[in-house]
């Protein structure tokens, strides 16, 4: 199960970094619906609703750039 979630998560990160933020968020939400404790998915989804859009983009763009290498 986690390998499927890992694949979806990594795909969502790639989408996010390509500027496809809505599609990435949809993928993160799909993981959240299955397992809200998986990695930092709850933080990503909750931040989307609780912070300003630009702030959310900046936070996760920086995070994902540092974890994708």
> Which H or E run includes 34?
helix 21-34
> For residues 67 and 46, what is the distance between their CA atoms, to the nearest angstrom?
20
- Ordered by start, the domain boundaries in the chain are 2-67
Q: What angle do CA 62, 25, 51 make, to 5 degrees?
A: 60
Q: What is the pLDDT of residue 51?
A: 96
Four-residue CA torsion sign, 59, 28, 67, 39: positive
Entry pTM: 0.92
Per-residue pLDDT tens over the stretch 14-59: 999 999 999 999 999 999 999 999 999 999 999 999 999 999 999 9
Task: Give the pLDDT band (50/70/90) at residue 2.
Answer: confident
How far is residue 65 from each of residues 32, 50, 56, 62, measured CA to CA in Å?
22, 22, 14, 5
């Amino acid at each position: 199960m986690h390998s499927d979630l890992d694949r979806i998560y990594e795909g969502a990160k790639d989408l996010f970094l390509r500027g496809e933020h809505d599609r990435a968020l949809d993928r993160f939400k799909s993981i959240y619906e299955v397992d809200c404790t998986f990695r930092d998915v709850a933080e990503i989804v909750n931040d989307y609703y609780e912070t300003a859009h630009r702030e959310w983009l900046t936070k996760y763009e920086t995070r994902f750039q540092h974890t994708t290498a």
